Structure 1
Amino acid sequence: MGVDSFVSWLRDVAVSLHDNAAYLTELDSAIGDADHGANMDRGFQAVVGVLDETSFDSADELLKKAGMTLVSKVGGASGPLYGTFFLRFGTALAGADLTPETIGKGLHAGVEGVLARGKAELGDKTMYDAWAPALEAYDAAVAGGSDLGTALTAAAEAAAKGRDATIPLVARKGRASYLGERSAGHQDPGATSTTLILESAARTLP
Structure 2
Amino acid sequence: MADTVDTAALVAWIHEFARLVGEHKQMLTELDSAIGDADHGVNMDRGMTAVVTVLRAESPGRPSEVFKRTGMTLVSTVGGASGPLYGTAFLRMSSTAGDAEELDGADVAKLLRAALDGVVARGKAAPGDKTMIDALSPAVEALEAAIEAGQPLAAALDAAVRAAEEGREATIPMVARKGRASYLGERSAGHQDPGATSVTFLLAAAATVLA
Pairwise same-fold verdict (TM > 0.5): yes
Q: Counterpart amino acid of 2:190?
A: G
Tell me which residue corresponds to 2:59. 55
Partners of 1:66 and 1:107 in 2: CA distance: 15
Partners of 1:11 and 1:95 in 2: CA distance: 22
Matched, 1:130 2:135: yes
1:90 deviates by: 1.4
Whether contact under 8 Å (2:67, 2:91) holds in the other structure is yes
Pick the aligned partner of 1:170 from 163, 166, 175: 175
Matched, 1:28 2:32: yes
SS for the counterpart of 2:103 is: coil
Whether contact under 8 Å (2:55, 2:69) holds in the other structure is no
Partners of 1:61 and 1:94 in 2: CA distance: 9
Partners of 2:210 and 2:165 in 1: CA distance: 18
Matched, 1:104 2:109: yes
Whether contact under 8 Å (2:175, 2:187) holds in the other structure is yes
Give the aligned CA root-mean-square deviation in angstroms: 0.8
1:95-123 Cα deviation digits (max 9, x unpaired) = 23511111111111111110111000110
Pick the aligned partner of 2:197 from 174, 178, 192: 192
SS for the counterpart of 1:98 is: strand
| 1:3-152 correspondence runs (5 A) | 3-96=7-100, 97-152=102-157
Q: Counterpart amino acid of 1:3?
A: T
Matched, 1:153 2:135: no
1:24-52 Cα deviation digits (max 9, x unpaired) = 00000000000000000000000011022
1:143-190 Cα deviation digits (max 9, x unpaired) = 111111111111011000000000000000000000000000000000
Partners of 1:154 and 1:174 in 2: CA distance: 28
Q: Counterpart amino acid of 1:56?
A: P
Partners of 1:107 and 1:133 in 2: CA distance: 11
Partners of 1:98 and 1:197 in 2: CA distance: 18
In the superposition, the TM-score normalised over structure 2's length comes to: 0.96
Partners of 1:52 and 1:156 in 2: CA distance: 27
Partners of 2:43 and 2:81 in 1: CA distance: 10
Stretches of structure 1 lacking an aligned partner (at least 5 in a row)? none
1:60-99 Cα deviation digits (max 9, x unpaired) = 1111110000000000000000010011011101123511
- Identity over aligned residues, as a percent? 57
Partners of 2:59 and 2:25 in 1: CA distance: 27
Whether contact under 8 Å (2:168, 2:200) holds in the other structure is yes
Stretches of structure 2 lacking an aligned partner (at least 5 in a row)? none
